Structure 1
Amino acid sequence: MASLQMFDGWNRQYEHYCGGVLINRKWVLTAAHCTIGGKRKFLVVLGAHSLSRYESSKQIFHIKRQIPHPEFSRITGENDIQLLELENNAMINNDVDVLKLPGGMVDDLKPGTSCLVAGWGQTSKGFPSDTLQEVTIEVIDRKTCNSKDYYDHKPEVTQNMICAGDSEGRGDSCAGDSGGPLLCNGTYVGIVSFGKICADPKKPGVYTFVSKYLCWIWKTIAMQAYNMTNEKLY
Structure 2
Amino acid sequence: MIFQAFFRSAMIIYFLTPGDDAVEIIGGKDVKPHSKPYMASIQLHRRHVCGGILIKPGWVLTAAHCNLKFKDQNIQVVLGTDSLSRDKDNSVQKLMVKQKFPHICFDSESREHDIMLLQLQTEAKLNKFVNVLPQPKNAWDVNDGTICTVVGWGKTNVKSNKLSDNLKEVNVTIINRAKCNSKNYYNNNPVITRNMLCAGDSKGGKDACQGDSGGPLICKNELRGIVSLEKNCGLRDKPGIYTRITNEYIKWIRKITD
Give the TM-score taking structure 2 as reference length.
0.80
Among 42, 48, 63, the residue aligned to 1:4: 42
Structure 1 residues without counterparts, runs of 5 or longer: 8-13, 223-234
Are the aligned partners of 1:182 and 1:191 in contact in 2 as well (CA < 8 Å)?
yes
Q: Deviations over 1:197-220 (max 9, x none)?
A: 101011010000113410111011
Indicate conservation of the 8 Å contact 2:213/2:230, yes or no: no
Percent identity between the aligned chains?
A: 47
Q: Deviation of residue 221 (structure 1)? A: 1.4
Letter in 1 for 2:209: C
- Pick the aligned partner of 1:59 from 79, 82, 93: 93
Instruction: Pick the aligned partner of 2:75 from 42, 63, 73.
Output: 42
Aligned length: 215
SS class of match (2:246): helix
Structure 2: runs of 5+ lacking an equivalent: 1-38
C-alpha distance in structure 1 between counterparts of 2:251 and 2:72, whole Å: 29
Conservation of the 8 A alpha-carbon contact between 2:210 and 2:231: no
RMSD: 1.3
**Aligned partner of 2:60: which letter?**
V
Greater relative contact order, per chain length (Cα 8 Å cut-off, separation 6+): 2
Is 1:24 matched up with 2:56?
Answer: yes
Stretch deviating more after TM superposition (108-117 or 32-41)? 32-41
**Do the aligned partners of 1:102 and 1:211 also contact (CA within 8 Å) in 2?**
no
Equivalent positions of 1:34-183 (< 5 A) are 34-36=66-68, 38-53=71-86, 54-106=88-140, 108-123=141-156, 127-183=162-218
Alignment partner of 1:21: what SS? strand
Q: Shift in Å at residue 35 of structure 1? A: 1.6
Work out whether 1:33 is the aligned partner of 2:71: no
SS at 1:151 equivalent: coil
Q: What amino acid sits opposite 2:95 in the alignment?
A: F
CA distance in 2, matches of 1:207, 1:105: 14
Distance in 2 (alpha carbons) for counterparts of 1:135 and 1:88:
32
Measured after TM superposition, the shift of residue 159 of structure 1 is 0.3
Once the two structures are TM-superposed, the CA of residue 149 in structure 1 deviates from its matched residue by 1.3
